[in-house]
Structure 1
Amino acid sequence: MPKVLISDKMDPKAAQIFRERGCEVDVITGQTPEELAGIIGQYDGLAIRSSTKVTKAILDAATNLKVVGRAGIGVDNVDIPSASAKGVVVMNTPFGNSITTAEHAIALMFALARQLPEADASTQAGKWEKNRFMGVELTAKTLGLIGAGNIGSIVADRALGLKMKVVAFDPFLTPERAIELGIEKVTLDDLLARADFITLHTPLTDQTRNILSKEALAKTKKGVRIINCARGGLIDEAALKEALDSGQVAGAALDVFATEPATESPLFGTPNFVSTPHLGASTSEAQVNVAIQVAEQMADYLVKGGVTNALNMPSLSAEQAPKLRPYMALATNLGLLVGQLESDRVKSIAIEVEGAAAELDMRPITAAVLAGFMRAFSSSVNMVNAPFLAKDRGLDVREVRHDREGDYHTLVRVSVETEDGERSVAGTLFGNATPRLVEMYGIKIEADLAGHMLYIVNRDEPGFIGRLGSTLGEANVNIATFHLGRRESRGGGEAVLLLSLDGAVAEPVLWKLCQLAGVKTVKSLRFDG
């Protein structure tokens, strides 16, 4: 019988579900790291909230641990790379507290609009400053969503019910999904210029860190009010303080901070600033939901081998894994390739298989493509949650299975629809094991996708490769492999180069490459393999 430890305070229904599904469970909370390390070796599963820190030291002591389940979204308290190296699955419950978090954002928006915290403090201090607290209505105001995924779409629905106009910036939001939600898709600059209220609902990635920077805040509509219940680090807090002091921002409400617990902040004490201690998921309903979900997921894995909402493991049965593994590597890299090249231009994505690939279960292949595609924007996306995130964001995904036989015994093609038309890449397996790119945007090319790479489109004319090599050589950039394809059999047309490099290319070098005669496109790429 698998044995599970619940190490943080959790609704009792979690322990009940574990027992009902065939697991032995202990509930021991409030342990020090040393105490946890001393007993963790007894357990197959560890169910946590945010208090327990699953560090490398804990994982090293967890000799029997198979799964860590986080009842909630964030897994900042879990060392996922160390867990992966130990073969420990890390799960979370990404949708259990969506409504609660969305409602908290709406609550903070009301608090800002009517200055409720300050009015409450003033009144309870025996003052009656009725004329001091002049609020604003939400009706007819424009709400700007930065992120229109699961939580953002719920906020949009509530805001529309308040008769607000909603605009959204989200690279994954399709026009069709925007129409379905009743909102308008806009650029970030357009949102900043138009929104009376801005609320953030996006993960913290390299692309979103300080998305509301000093420069971005300067572009906002004067008197904007800003709410963040997503992740600390999305807003430059020092710059927000300056914007509040200057009046550029009329009010701000933060439930999350760059450093937590936030025992001090430049924003504390600033007029028209409201703060809460990361309460987005703190309702009794949400706590019950995430406790039930994490127990169900962990029990299914420990007893039946099913994997749901894992952050570091594909959703595969033991029988499927050996045959599908090379296909998933190919599919992931094809998705990552188009994701890095096309970013937020994609409206729809199609996954086509033919030959031997057409005889397989397409779902893992599709999930791998989507995981690769969205990994260009968020490192937390994987094969398990990618299909759900794609659906949640309204990305149109199609699967096509061809019975025909082509030039290759097996082929996977990924096509994306952009504003400029369709773009597609295709790959095969050499020896049924080694992934290889064989076509890119209509040009035949054979290349491995691995490590740091450069993608270059240029006029196919004499002398270009020499100029390219000289520029990279002067920058001490070493070319590992060189792959060339061209649209015409003779020179004069368009050529594609894929270069494998020993390391990343600095921005100044990329700029120099863009200035070379004949260059049309230069992009730096990164692959896991």
Structure 2
Amino acid sequence: MTKPKVLISDKMDPNAARIFEERGCAVDVKPGMTPDELKAVIGEYDGLAIRSATKVTREILDAAPNLKVIGRAGIGVDNVDIPYASGRGVVVMNTPFGNSITTAEHAIAMIMALARQIPAANARTQNGEWPKNDFMGVEVTGKTLGLIGAGNIGSIVASRALGLRMKVVAFDPFLTAERAVELGVEKVDLDTLLVRADFITLHTPLTDQTRNILSAENIAKTKKGVRIVNCARGGLIDEAALKDALDSGHVAGAALDVFQTEPAKESPLFGTPGFICTPHLGASTTEAQVNVALQVAEQMADYLVNGGVTNALNMPSLSAEEAPKLRPYMALAEKLGSLVGQLAHGNLVRISIEREGAASELAGKPIEAAVLAGLMKQYSDSVNMVNAPYLAKERGLDVRSVRHEREGAYNTLVRVTVGTSQGDRSVAGTLFGNDNPRLVEIFGIGIEADLTGDMLYIVNEDAPGFIGRIGTLLGENGINIGTFHLGRRPNGAGAGGEAVLLLSVDQPIPEDVVKKACALEGVKVVMPLAF
């Protein structure tokens, strides 16, 4: 039997090659290749182990007919074209937890550097000055740390901050009250965190929901003299707004390890008093580099030799026998999770996944994982059916899977109910023709709709004339309606109740059109959706 062949194309701990060999893989170590050089040899390999230097583009993937798995030693996979790799059947793995402690410690170091102005004091002292009276720091003891994101890294930062006798408040939509108690932090909403925190540190992925989470508007809500740390992802902070807040003195100090554009060779923040930066060093310790290298080798070897899947970003855990039956159900489940994740407001507390009829006879875990992946993709674009259950558990989300053997109005049904701080929200779907996912109920209102592409969700008073008004508004703004789905909750006979409208449209709805739709007579809720 021919051994699987692996290429390590970036600098990595030498023990990674040893692990590949011990576990039955042939390995070549060729760091520093140009894209053309990589393209010329990649066709020989079953696996590619990388860090951040190697860019796995379409051209590289097209030249790799034998490639089965790409392993990223670290968290970020911005250098891999994951959708294209998925289309070619290449599994993409990362090691999301190997550098958690290192990144958390860097955030704590940044907090201390801000509190005592260490970089500026060091520079002037080494310049021959003795500026003792120019630097008046603050203690961290007794101060309030605001944690935006309480996942793996955020929870470690909380633990270290509590050891420094800080008070910790945390904002995370997936953090339950029970998990907050376990961590020793106070769970709050974002506005409360902004008002109360003396220090703010960010530990959340960059998604459409978190981009510029510290916007000019939100920075203005913070306490005067706040200090801000970001060792997570560039783009979480509006850097121009941060510059203005530092110049005005509203923000006393800011420390960034990540920037919106990297490498950050220039930035308006450079040279600003109170600003500290490092060149994306969060994972740069000897221990972390060893950990991620060993982990990626173990994961890739397990997949190539035994078929085991760990920390894959684009592949569910499925056996060959289960896949054909489960695949359409998983598509339905992911769409339902995505829908309820986009529509549910308030902090999530629990989620229930119910299967009725034919769905009750299938394995529940893959369907549950698909629901969680759809739900949590609203907050992280690296979530999939493999890591979503772990992330939900990490945040203390109460996940329940219920199987009903009864058969109702549909031969097969999947229902997803989320409990939020504002009450329960439920959606349900079925399969048409055994493989076509279809929504059949939303928040207690019967409605049949395909969930695909860009859509517009509207709740309005069930009264004559509304459909014409919304159609006219979209037409006047050049937005073409693809499909039109209507459901209503009657209030007695005829009109007067509550109606739900789901429209599929040919392009994303601009924000100004959403605002105009909100202003239409009888409208209660308007939300753009994307699937």
TM range (shorter): over 0.9
Match of 1:498 in 2: 502
What's the offset of the Cα at 1:120?
2.7
Distance 2:445 2:478 in 1: 29
Alpha carbons 2:354, 2:404 under 8 Å: kept: yes
What's the offset of the Cα at 1:383?
1.0
Distance 1:501 1:84 in 2: 27
Amino acid at match of 1:437: L
Match of 1:526 in 2: 530
Match of 2:464 in 1: 462
Question: Relative to 1, partners in 2 of residues 1:465 and 1:246: Cα closer, same or farther, differing over 3 Å?
Answer: closer
Match of 1:119 in 2: 121
Alpha carbons 1:428, 1:438 under 8 Å: kept: yes
What's the offset of the Cα at 1:476?
3.1
Match of 1:148 in 2: 150
Kindly provide the CA deviation profile for residues 335-388 of structure 1, in whole angstroms up to 9, marking residues without a partner as x: 011011014442211101121111111111011101111122332221111111
Distance 1:122 1:463 in 2: 71
Distance 1:307 1:327 in 2: 21
Question: Relative to 1, partners in 2 of residues 1:244 and 1:486: Cα closer, same or farther, differing over 3 Å?
Answer: closer
Return the match for 1:515 from 516, 519, 523.
519
Give the TM-score taking structure 1 as reference length. Answer: 0.95
Match of 2:56 in 1: 54
Match of 2:333 in 1: 331
Amino acid at match of 1:73: I
Unaligned runs of 5+ in 1: none
SS in 1 for 2:264: coil
Match of 2:410 in 1: 408
Question: Relative to 1, partners in 2 of residues 1:102 and 1:3: Cα closer, same or farther, differing over 3 Å?
Answer: same
Unaligned runs of 5+ in 2: none
Kindly provide the CA deviation profile for residues 466-517 of structure 1, in whole angstroms up to 9, marking residues without a partner as x: 3333333333333222222222384232222222222222233323332333
Question: Relative to 1, partners in 2 of residues 1:217 and 1:459: Cα closer, same or farther, differing over 3 Å?
Answer: closer
Distance 1:515 1:311 in 2: 41
Alpha carbons 1:169, 1:191 under 8 Å: kept: yes
Give the number of aligned pairs. 527
Match of 1:184 in 2: 186
Match of 1:473 in 2: 475
SS in 1 for 2:344: helix
Amino acid at match of 1:518: G
What's the offset of the Cα at 1:395?
1.6
Distance 1:249 1:148 in 2: 23
Match of 1:97 in 2: 99
What's the offset of the Cα at 1:262?
2.1
Kindly provide the CA deviation profile for residues 294-353 of structure 1, in whole angstroms up to 9, marking residues without a partner as x: 111111211222222122222222221111000001001100110110144422111011
What's the offset of the Cα at 1:187?
2.7
Q: Does 1:447 align with 2:445?
A: no
Q: Does 1:196 align with 2:195?
A: no
Alpha carbons 2:456, 2:526 under 8 Å: kept: yes
Match of 2:355 in 1: 353
Q: Which moved more, 1:154-163 or 1:56-65?
A: 56-65
Alpha carbons 1:459, 1:518 under 8 Å: kept: yes
Alpha carbons 1:192, 1:221 under 8 Å: kept: yes
Question: Relative to 1, partners in 2 of residues 1:123 and 1:462: Cα closer, same or farther, differing over 3 Å?
Answer: closer
Return the match for 1:432 from 431, 434, 443.
434
Distance 1:480 1:258 in 2: 36
Distance 1:186 1:106 in 2: 21
Distance 1:233 1:431 in 2: 43
What's the offset of the Cα at 1:83?
1.7
Question: Relative to 1, partners in 2 of residues 1:225 and 1:517: Cα closer, same or farther, differing over 3 Å?
Answer: closer
Return the match for 1:375 from 370, 374, 377.
377
Match of 2:47 in 1: 45
Amino acid at match of 2:74: G
Return the match for 2:271 from 246, 269, 272.
269
Distance 1:449 1:238 in 2: 38
Alpha carbons 2:445, 2:487 under 8 Å: kept: yes
Distance 2:433 2:280 in 1: 52
Distance 1:490 1:503 in 2: 36
Q: Does 1:213 align with 2:210?
A: no
Alpha carbons 1:305, 1:317 under 8 Å: kept: no
Give the TM-score taking structure 2 as reference length. Answer: 0.95
Q: Name segments (4+ residues, structure 1) moved above 4 Å.
A: none
Alpha carbons 1:307, 1:316 under 8 Å: kept: no
Q: Which moved more, 1:193-202 or 1:322-331?
A: 193-202
Alpha carbons 1:148, 1:168 under 8 Å: kept: yes
Distance 1:473 1:225 in 2: 47
Match of 2:174 in 1: 172
Q: Does 1:29 align with 2:31?
A: yes
Amino acid at match of 1:56: R
Return the match for 1:72 from 71, 74, 93.
74
Distance 2:16 2:417 in 1: 43
SS in 2 for 1:16: helix
Amino acid at match of 1:118: A
Amino acid at match of 1:431: G
What's the offset of the Cα at 1:135?
1.6
